[in-house]
Amino acid sequence: MEKTIITVVGKDAVGIIAKVCTYLAENGINILDISQTIVQGYFNMMMIVDTGAMDKPFGDLCDEMAALGGKTGVVIKCQKEEIFDKMHRI
């Protein structure tokens, strides 16, 4: 399993989660956990996904998700889990 953290931040709109999930399903990426809040109209979501079965390079995932975010009016970032794990877990 290769865990990746996807964060989506931006102005709330209809269908943000649907678009992200559709992309993930099309690319064989399994969602392990989702948490989401809306603070003062701003949408803030974090997904933990498994990119182990994905067949494209990690860099392409980053670029395509960023492009999807651009179209939807939100900022989408993909980062491997270790950076958070190292920083917040001993």
Partner 1 sequence: MINLFEVTETNKMISEENLDVRTITLGVSLLDCIDSDLEKLNEKIYHKIYHAAKDLVKTGEEISREYGIPIVNKRISVTPIALVGGAACGRPEDFVTVARTLDRAAKDVGVNFIGGYSALVSKGMTEADRNLICSIPMALSSTERVCSSVNLGSTKTGINMDGVKLMGEIIKETAEQTRDQDSLGCAKLVVFCNAPDDNPFMAGAFHGVTEADKVINVGVSGPGVVKTALESVRGENFEVLCETIKKTAFKVTRVGQLVAQEASARLKVPFGIVDLSLAPTPAIGDSVADILCEMGLEYAGAPGTTAALALLNDQVKKGGVMASSYVGGLSGAFIPVSEDQGMINAVQAGALTLEKLEAMTCVCSVGLDMIAVPGDTKASSISGIIADEMAIGMVNQKTTAVRIIPVIGKGVGETVEFGGLLGYAPIMPVNRFSCEAFIGRGGRIPAPIHSFKN
Q: Contact positions toward partner 1, by CB under 8 A?
A: 5, 7, 33, 35-37, 44, 46, 48, 58-59, 62, 77-88
Q: Are 44 and 16 in contact (CB under 8 A)?
A: no
Smallest distance from partner 1 to CB 32, Å: 8
Smallest distance from partner 1 to CB 90, Å: 8
Q: What angle do CA 43, 56, 64 make, to 5 degrees?
A: 35
Smallest distance from partner 1 to CB 45, Å: 8
Q: Side-chain half-sphere of 30: how many Cα atoms within 13 Å? A: 7
Q: Are 17 and 45 in contact (CB under 8 A)?
A: yes
Beta carbon nearer to partner 1, 35 or 40: 35
